[in-house]
C-alpha cells in the first residue's frame, strides 16, 4: 500500500544526480577553487552560481526562441538610447507647448489690464469735477394789454354756433359722397351667373327623324337660353341620341324648365337627361 501511494506522489527522487551534474558543470566553467574558501562560503557561492546559471539559461533560451531579437548588453544599450531620444523629442514638444501657453497668458493679462482701465468702474474712481452754472429764471414774455376793440371782437364770437356750422358741412359732404357712390354702383354692370349644360335627348326608336328632333329642340326659345353645338351619339340597335350644348342664365332658366319645354315634343322625344353641368 505504501508503494502504491508513493507512485502517485510527485517526488524528485533523482535530484542529487542533477545537483552533482550542475556542480561539476560550474567547476569546469569557473576552474578549481581554493578548498578553504569554498568550504567557508560554500552555501552562498552555490546559491550565487545557481542564480547566475539560471539567468544565463533564461537569456540563452530567450535568444534562441526569438529570431532577430537583440540580447545582452548591446541590445539593452540600444533600447536605452532609443528611449532617451524619444524622451528628448517629447521634452522639446512639451517645452514648445509651455512657451505657447506662456505667450497666451501674457496676452490675456495685457487685454485684462486694458479692459480694467477702460471699464466704467475705473472711470468712476476718478470723477471729473464739472462747474455748474447757477440756473437763471426765465421770465415769461410780457403780454400786451388787450385793447377795448379786441375785447369786443371776442365777445362777438359764438363758440356754439361754429360747431353747428361744422356739423352741417360734414353732414352735407357725407350725403354727397353717398350719392356719388350709389351712382357709381348703379352704373357698374351686375355679374350674371351662367351655366353650361350638355343635354342627352333620346328618341323613341330608330325610325325617329333625328333632324326633325333637333329642330324641335332648338325651337325652344327662352330669355337667357343660348343653344350651342350638337352631335348624334349611337346608343345601340341602330338608335342614336342627340347630344346638344346650351348656355343658360341661372336666374332666368332652370334645368327643370328646360326639360319640361323639350319633353313637350312627345312624338319625337322620349326623355331628356343632363350629361354635364358646369358653372361659368
> What proportion of the chain, given as a percentage, has pLDDT over 70?
68
Dihedral sign of CA atoms 58, 59, 62, 63 in order? negative
Instruction: Give me the mean pLDDT over the 240-251 stretch.
Output: 92
* Higher-pLDDT residue of 149, 97: 97
What letters, b where the CB count within 10 A reaches 16 and e where it falls short, cover 48-83?
ebeeeeeeeeeeeeeeeeeeeeeeeeeeeeeeeeee
- Domain residue limits, the chain: 204-279
Question: For 88-138, how does the pLDDT look when each residue is reduced to its tens digit (9 = 90+)?
Answer: 888 888 888 999 999 999 999 998 888 888 766 555 554 554 444 445 554
Instruction: Give me the mean pLDDT over the 157-161 stretch.
Output: 52
Return the DSSP state at 263.
T
**Could you please report the per-residue DSSP string of 93-154?**
HHHHHHHHHHHHHHHHHHHHHHHHHHSHHHHHHSPPP-PPPPP-PPPPPPPPPPPHHHHHHH
In contact, 263 and 199? CB cutoff 8 Å: no
In terms of pTM, does the model score above 0.85? no
Write down the pLDDT at residue 150: 53
Q: Residue 36 pLDDT > 60, yes or no?
A: no
Q: Would you tell me how many other CB atoms lie within 10 Å of the CB of residue 259?
A: 17
- Average model confidence (pLDDT) across the chain: 76
Provide CATH code, domain 204-279.
Answer: 3.30.70.60
Write down the pLDDT at residue 91: 85
C-alpha cell at 16: 542529487
Q: Residue 267 pLDDT > 60, yes or no?
A: yes
Amino acid at each position: 500500500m505504501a508503494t502504491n501511494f508513493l507512485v502517485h506522489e510527485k517526488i524528485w527522487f533523482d535530484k542529487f544526480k542533477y545537483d552533482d551534474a550542475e556542480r561539476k558543470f560550474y567547476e569546469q566553467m569557473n576552474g578549481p577553487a581554493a578548498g578553504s574558501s569554498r568550504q567557508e562560503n560554500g552555501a552562498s557561492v552555490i546559491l550565487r552560481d545557481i542564480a547566475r546559471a539560471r539567468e544565463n539559461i533564461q537569456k540563452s533560451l530567450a535568444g534562441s526562441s526569438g529570431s532577430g531579437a537583440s540580447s545582452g548588453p548591446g541590445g539593452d544599450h540600444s533600447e536605452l538610447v532609443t528611449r532617451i531620444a524619444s524622451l528628448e523629442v517629447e521634452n522639446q514638444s512639451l517645452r514648445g507647448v509651455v512657451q505657447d501657453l506662456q505667450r497666451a497668458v501674457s496676452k490675456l493679462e495685457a487685454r485684462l489690464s486694458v479692459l480694467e482701465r477702460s471699464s466704467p468702474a475705473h472711470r468712476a474712481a476718478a470723477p471729473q469735477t464739472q462747474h455748474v452754472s447757477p440756473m437763471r429764471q426765465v421770465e415769461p414774455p410780457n403780454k400786451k394789454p388787450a385793447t377795448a376793440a379786441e375785447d369786443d371782437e371776442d365777445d362777438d364770437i359764438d363758440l356754439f354756433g361754429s360747431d353747428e356750422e361744422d356739423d352741417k358741412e360734414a353732414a352735407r359732404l357725407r350725403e354727397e359722397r353717398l350719392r356719388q357712390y350709389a351712382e357709381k354702383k348703379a352704373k357698374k354692370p351686375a355679374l350674371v351667373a351662367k351655366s353650361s349644360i350638355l343635354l342627352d335627348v333620346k328618341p323613341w326608336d330608330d325610325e325617329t327623324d333625328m333632324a326633325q328632333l333637333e329642330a324641335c329642340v332648338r325651337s325652344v326659345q327662352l330669355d337667357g337660353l343660348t343653344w350651342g353645338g350638337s352631335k348624334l351619339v349611337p346608343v345601340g340597335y341602330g338608335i342614336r341620341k342627340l347630344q346638344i350644348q346650351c348656355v343658360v342664365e341661372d336666374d332666368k332658366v332652370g334645368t327643370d324648365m328646360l326639360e319640361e319645354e323639350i319633353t313637350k315634343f312627345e312624338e319625337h322625344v322620349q326623355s331628356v337627361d343632363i350629361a354635364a353641368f358646369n358653372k361659368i
